[in-house]
Amino acid sequence: MTAGNSIVYGGPFTDYYVPNINNTFFNGIWDGLYRATANLDKIVTYNDPTNKYVKQKAIAKIVKANYIQILTDFYGDMPHSEAFKGQNNLAPKYDKGEDIYKASYAELENAKALIDSGARDEVGAVDIVFGGDRAKWKAFANTLQLRYLLRMSNVTGDMATFRDQKLALLSGATFIDEDVLENPGYSSNNDAQQNPYTNYYLYTGSGSRGSAYAINVASENAAIILNGNPDGDTRGAYQKFNNIVDLRRPRMFTLIGGKVSGIRQGNTPGQPGVPSAASRFTFGINIGKGTPTSTEEYIDLASAKSGCIMTRAESKFLQAEAALRYPSLFSSALSNFNEGIAASFDTYGSAPNLADQYIATIAAVPGLGFAGSTTNKIDAIMTQKWIALAGRNPEQSFFDYSRTGFPVTLSATTASKPKPNRLMYPLSEIIANSGNVPKIGTEDVFSKNQYTPFWNRN
């Protein structure tokens, strides 16, 4: 969805565009998520002989499973069974991705059992996601399990058997029907209390521009798609968007001359696809619902914005895909697909009548609406999910593209390699756990082999 602002910076995101994947590329994903997961594991393993904190442990297991899946999907094999021991094990062994998936899935099942057990203290207001609502936590766990299983849509053998058995047990389950948000008390009182996104990309608490305010703008891909391919671009798979203006666009990006203005990834001023000004994320992504009338109100609303763990739109698109692929177990593919789009409009703060209008417009368009072959419908689900997750959970769109090949968009003009299948283990892990970390090379990132996440090898 985004491009580096070459109008201001000259040639940003060079490594992203090539892409130059190495041991420092996005290493914050590994380091940050492992730290967060280790904290959750401390809750899970806390000595609680009277079972006072059963609900807290259940919640920690659910959130931990969310992080574990993201890590495994980016890196494949990694420390799991011996991880999170701190000084007690500084060199944990690596587990296979398949085994991690099974163990993490089992942890979700155990978490649901603990929630249903009725044991001891309720969580209440200290729960910054659902306020202690057990039914919602169980529904979220079900939705995470569905994500796990659909990620394995292409696997064969034992993992396919595992997937099918678990899908059957999940049939008829209740899935999350709202955005899953966390908010520990974000506010504009000071920089430390702001939503970190706001502080970095928009404004500091004092009203200064965030340090990365100017770097991200709309890509040409986003502009073509959201503007309805007004110039009839025949590259990529843009024809399905012809003459269909996406009514979410003014809530996603600032409009310049009445439309989204995007930069062709890899190009610089004077080259094709680089306008004199480019659109930035706006209220629907930076705030959500609401339209501030002053800079002060904008800072307040953006600073207090909740962090997004999963959107209702993603839940609905997962249910649509499940019903499409496994109609004997799940139902309502079309209605879930349309509800996913409507949920996206709602999350961005667009009016409900605009969602209805857009859904009616795309209904008969294969690859954009729920029409045509099964492949067309998978394309439509992934395309709509990609639009819906912009600025929220874009890593899920990367995994979906790796699994399905959709949506089809253009690579950067400077790209000399295909899109990667995984990330490389970071330098921090190579230094700290050198005896166990797999020795993969750059070429392993771009080919399918034993290092590719298991669900993406077929």
Residue 389 to residue 386: CA distance in whole angstroms: 5
Contact between residue 417 and residue 411 where contact means Cβ atoms under 8 Å apart: no
- Domain-located, residue 78: no
Residue 223 to residue 218: CA distance in whole angstroms: 7
Six-digit token string for 126: 């200290």
Q: Give the residue from 393, 453, 450 showing the smallest Cα distance to 421.
A: 453
Question: Cis (ω within 30 of 0) for the bond into 407?
Answer: yes
Q: 3-class SS at 196?
A: helix
What's the DSSP call for residue 238?
-
Residue 437 to residue 207: CA distance in whole angstroms: 44
Reported as a pLDDT band with limits 50, 70 and 90, residue 124 is: confident
**Which domain covers residue 246, as residue numbers?**
2-15+187-303
Longest dimension (CA), the chain: 69
What mean pLDDT is predicted for residues 410-438? 96
Q: Is a pLDDT exceeding 70 seen at residue 119?
A: no
Q: Which of 115-129, 150-164, 198-212, 246-260 has the lowest mean pLDDT?
A: 115-129
- Domain-located, residue 269: yes
Contact between residue 310 and residue 257 where contact means Cβ atoms under 8 Å apart: no
Residue 194, CA distances (Å) to 110, 204, 207 in order: 34, 8, 12
Q: What is the mean pLDDT of the chain?
A: 96
Residue 66 to residue 44: CA distance in whole angstroms: 14
- Higher pLDDT pick, 125 / 272: 272
Q: Is a pLDDT exceeding 80 seen at residue 312?
A: yes
Q: Is a pLDDT exceeding 80 seen at residue 161?
A: yes
Q: What is the pLDDT of residues 66-96, one digit of tens each?
A: 999 999 999 999 999 999 999 999 999 999 9
Q: Which helix (H) or strand (E) holds 78?
A: strand 78-79
Per the DSSP assignment, residues forming a β-bridge with 40 are: none
Strands (E), 198-341: 216-218, 307-310
pLDDT at 116: 87
- Domain-located, residue 385: no
pLDDT at 202: 96
- Domain-located, residue 221: yes
Residue 175, CA distances (Å) to 106, 236, 385 in order: 18, 35, 17
Rg (CA), the chain: 22
What's the DSSP call for residue 192?
G
Reported as a pLDDT band with limits 50, 70 and 90, residue 123 is: confident
Reported as a pLDDT band with limits 50, 70 and 90, residue 313 is: very high
Q: What is the pLDDT of residues 349-378, one digit of tens each?
A: 999 999 999 999 999 999 999 999 999 999
What mean pLDDT is predicted for residues 433-444? 96
- Domain-located, residue 258: yes
Q: Give the residue from 417, 372, 452 showing the smallest Cα distance to 154.
A: 452
Q: What is the pLDDT of residues 194-241, one digit of tens each?
A: 999 999 999 999 999 999 999 999 999 999 999 999 999 998 889 999
Q: Which helix (H) or strand (E) holds 84?
A: none
Question: Residues 84-122, buried b or exposed e (16+ Cβ, 10 A)?
Answer: beeeeeeebebbebbebbbebbebbebbbebbeeeeeee
Residue 437 to residue 327: CA distance in whole angstroms: 41
- Domain-located, residue 168: no
Percent of the chain, pLDDT > 90? 95
Contact between residue 115 and residue 137 where contact means Cβ atoms under 8 Å apart: yes
Six-digit token string for 90: 């500084």
Q: Which residues contact 285 (CB under 8 A, 6 or more apart)?
A: 251, 252, 348, 390, 391, 392
Reported as a pLDDT band with limits 50, 70 and 90, residue 122 is: confident
Q: Give the residue from 107, 97, 106 showing the smallest Cα distance to 45.
A: 107
Q: Give the residue from 135, 147, 87 showing the smallest Cα distance to 397.
A: 147
Number of H helices, E strands in the chain: 19, 6
Six-digit token string for 258: 């009445």
**What one-letter code names the amino acid at 189?**
N
Percent of the chain, pLDDT > 70? 99
Q: What is the pLDDT of residues 399-411, one digit of tens each?
A: 999 999 999 999 9
Q: 3-class SS at 159?
A: helix
Reported as a pLDDT band with limits 50, 70 and 90, residue 415 is: very high
Residue 297 to residue 307: CA distance in whole angstroms: 19
- Domain-located, residue 71: no
Six-digit token string for 172: 């008829």
- Domain-located, residue 248: yes
Number of compact structural domains in the chain: 1
What mean pLDDT is predicted for residues 6-24? 94
What 3 state SS string does 381-437 have? HHHHHHHHCCCCCHHHHHHHHHHHCCCCCCCCCCCCCCCCCCCCCCHHHHHHCCCCC
pLDDT at 120: 64
Residue 280 to residue 386: CA distance in whole angstroms: 17
Residue 281 to residue 249: CA distance in whole angstroms: 10
